[in-house]
């Protein structure tokens, strides 16, 4: 399936059901791969419940932690001690309790600048993948988790920003964010995020309804252009689902 193909939309009752559905899908992807597994996490508030669920016995006991590697799709360029650091949130929610330290792959934020961090992370991803070009037969990630911001951004790919058009680099620095927190970012690009078996968006809450109307209306927004080379799934809770979409 090529980028631009249909996405699958799954609606659920509430944030708890959203987290459980997401956790079940992540587990299914993990279970279908007998080799080394790579999951790309996301920041923001939406995935926190999912992360906490993965640490509960039901999921924890079914995940082969030594074979799963955890990456992050974007990072705020702040120290790991800063509460806005995406990977630190994921570490606190589940990784530090469950995953071997060597399997956690944060975007560095102690470099001179975001561009330098992007170069280092790109190198890390390419070493892990074993090539510097993607092969469609061999996706980089099993699952890429995503969220959507109020302006239609995803990862740290903001509408109208040049990083959205990046076709060669896997990771780039973003000097200025378009929404809060207004700190520089480092983000994977659309081609790097697309190299996955499944891209899984989690969207919950009435405050997402306006932007979802635009995304589901196929407006030219980064969250709409982010598509997996495999399956693209949007998990949406009732409160976030636009009225007109409900009627269909
Ligand atoms: C970030 C994120 C970003 C996020 C969306 C949704 O670093 O901010 O990775 O892309 O996923 O902004 O954020 P919420 O889940 O907080 O709504």
pLDDT at residue 243, as a whole number:
84
Q: Which ligand 1 atom lies nearest to the CA of residue 156?
A: 10
φ, ψ for residue 5, nearest 5 deg: -75, 170
- Residues 144, 200 contacting (CB under 8 angstroms): yes
pLDDT at residue 245, as a whole number:
75
> Per-residue pLDDT tens for 144-171?
999 999 999 999 999 999 999 999 999 9
Name the burial class of residue 41, with classes exposed (0-12), middle (13-18) and buried (19+) by CB atoms within 10 angstroms of its CB.
buried
- Residues 28, 62 contacting (CB under 8 angstroms): no
Q: Which protein residues touch ligand 1 with a CB less than 6 Å away? A: 42-46, 74, 76, 86, 147-149, 153-156
**DSSP 8-state class, residue 138:** B
pTM score, whole prediction: 0.96
Residue 211 CA to ligand 1 center (angstroms) comes to 13
Mutate which of 43, 51, 164 for ligand 1 pocket (most atoms within 8 A of beta carbon): 43
Q: Which ligand 1 atom lies nearest to the CA of residue 202?
A: 15
pLDDT less than 70: residues of the chain: 1-5, 246-248
Mutate which of 71, 145, 147 for ligand 1 pocket (most atoms within 8 A of beta carbon): 147
Q: Which ligand 1 atom lies nearest to the CA of residue 147?
A: 11
pLDDT at residue 79, as a whole number:
98
pLDDT at residue 168, as a whole number:
97
φ, ψ for residue 197, nearest 5 deg: -75, -35
């Amino acid at each position: 399936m090529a980028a631009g193909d249909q996405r699958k939309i799954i609606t659920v009752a509430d944030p708890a059901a959203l987290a459980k559905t997401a956790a079940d899908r992540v587990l299914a992807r993990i279970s279908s791969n007998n080799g080394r597994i790579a999951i790309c996490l996301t920041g923001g508030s939406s995935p926190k419940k999912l992360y906490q669920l993965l640490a509960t016995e039901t999921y924890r006991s079914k995940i082969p932690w030594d074979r799963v590697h955890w990456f992050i799709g974007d990072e705020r360029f702040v120290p790991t001690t800063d509460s806005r650091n995406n990977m630190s949130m994921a570490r606190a929610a589940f990784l530090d309790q469950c995953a071997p330290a060597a399997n956690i792959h944060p975007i560095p934020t102690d470099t001179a600048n975001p561009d330098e961090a992007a170069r280092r992370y790109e190198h890390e991803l390419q070493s892990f993948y074993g090539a510097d070009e993607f092969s469609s037969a061999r996706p980089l990630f099993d699952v890429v988790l995503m969220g959507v911001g109020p302006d239609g951004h995803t990862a740290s790919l903001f509408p109208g920003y040049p990083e959205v058009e990046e076709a060669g680099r896997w990771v780039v620095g973003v000097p200025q964010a378009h929404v809060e927190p207004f700190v520089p970012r480092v983000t994977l690009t659309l081609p790097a995020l697309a190299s996955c078996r499944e891209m899984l968006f989690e969207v919950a809450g009435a405050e997402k309804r306006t932007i979802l109307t635009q995304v589901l209306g196929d407006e030219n927004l980064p969250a709409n252009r982010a598509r997996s080379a495999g399956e693209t799934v949007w998990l949406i809770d009732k409160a976030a689902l636009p009225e007109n979409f409900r009627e269909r």
